[in-house]
Chain A
Amino acid sequence: MSGNRDKELLALFKEKESRNYAFNQIIHTYQERLYWHVRRIVVLHEDADDVLQNTFLKAWNGLDDFKEDSRLYTWLYRIATNEALSFLKKKRKRVLIPDHDFENSVMNRFEEGDYIDGNEIQMKLQKAICTLPEKQRIVFNMKYYDEMKYEEMAEILKTSVGALKASFHHAVKKIEKMIQED
């Protein structure tokens, strides 16, 4: 979506009469991209649905204070990422999973979850991705599947381009090794 269209929608959101219409348009525009991003982090559809709803609720409550120095898409993406990560953190605490076992629990979610369907090689790739540490998994997914620029990712994840490049490079090497081994 163009920056101009975002500006139009933000202006409409500030007016009481067009507030709902503008937000509805924002949801229609960004829901799919945000959903897939969140789904790759939390794996299960039901959890992704919860996280996506919370993301848009936070956006609704915070949009009045949104400073237009960053793009609306980047802002939403950042909320979605934080929501997904804190969702996993809460879940981890609730089921008392130690941090170093969490990659296995992500893999279990993958094996048990509904609405997951792929051929053998795709499933092998997904399982390899599941073994990555959380931060690397997010960086890998954003670069590999969402084809995001490092600069955009740096803005969303609040980290440096260099660190992201290193993280992606590292993730790719690990996945390649796992694919080769099988």
Chain B
Amino acid sequence: MKELNKIAPNLSKIKKENVFRVPDGYFEEFPGKLMERIGHQGDRQEILRPLRRFFKPPLAIAAAILVFAILGYLSIRYLFSDGVNQELSPQEIAEYIEYYSSDLDEGLYYEVLDEIEVDETVDIDYEEIIIDYLLGQDVDYQSIMENL
């Protein structure tokens, strides 16, 4: 990796070694252990298959009844509603904001802002965010690296 020598001379001097170990015989035993688990999974499916076949039609009917009941309830509620829950028009919303905004004063905004705590311990990697953004804008990777 020529690139590594250039940008990280200290890292490229370190010999590439695997520091992780596995228990003795792990890779020899793993396929057998896994095939056994797959076998059990198969057995369970064999047991569940007839049960599923048996319960599937009643469950489907119960689900259909439930769906009809919910739809019926919602339709009745809609038909007999007194209009309180109906959506407000944009004009009504604008009038509402205009009416109540006169009650708010500037001091209240600042009080609320003071109560918001900013977590300064979070380390945000701005450089990475900028790189991701520029790459998203199809800016050439090489020129990003040269200019950073």
Binding site for B on A (CB under 8 A): 20, 23-24, 27-28, 31-32, 35-36, 39-40, 45, 49, 52-53, 56-57, 60, 100, 115-118, 121-123, 125-126, 133, 136, 144-145, 160, 162-163, 165-167, 169-170, 172-173, 175-176, 179-180
Contacts and interface: CB of A to CB of B under 8 A. Distances in A.
B19 A122 contact: yes
Contacts of B17: 118, 122
A117 B127 contact: no
Given A32-B27, A57-B37, A160-B135, A179 B18 contact: no
Contact of B31 (A28, A49, A123, A175): A28
A151 to B, nearest CB: 14
A173 B7 contact: yes
Contacts of A49: 26, 30
Given A160-B135, A172-B4, A100 B123 contact: yes
Contacts of A45: 20-23
A34 B23 CA distance: 16
Contact of B20 (A57, A116, A163, A170): A116
Contacts of B121: 100
A122 B27 contact: no
B41 interface: yes
B70 interface: no
A141 B36 CA distance: 31
What is the interface residue range for chain B against chain A?
A: 35 or more
Interface in B127-148: 127-128, 131-132, 135, 141, 144-145
Given A27-B35, A31-B27, A57-B34, 13 more contacts: A31-B31, A36-B18, A115-B23, A121-B14, A122-B14, A125-B11, A126-B19, A133-B125, A166-B128, A170-B127, A172-B4, A176-B8, A176-B11
A36 B27 CA distance: 11
A162 B141 contact: yes
Nearest to A27: B31
B3 to A, nearest CB: 8
Nearest to A166: B131
Q: For the complex, would chain B's binding face be called helix, strand, loop or mixed by DSSP majority?
A: helix
A176 B7 CA distance: 8
Contact of A24 (B10, B18, B35, B145): B35
B38 A60 contact: yes
B133 to A, nearest CB: 11
B122 to A, nearest CB: 5
Contact of B144 (A100, A125, A166, A173): A166
A161 to B, nearest CB: 8
B27 A145 contact: no
B8 A56 contact: no
B121 to A, nearest CB: 7
A56 to B, nearest CB: 5
A173 B14 CA distance: 15
A170 B37 contact: no
A115 B27 contact: no
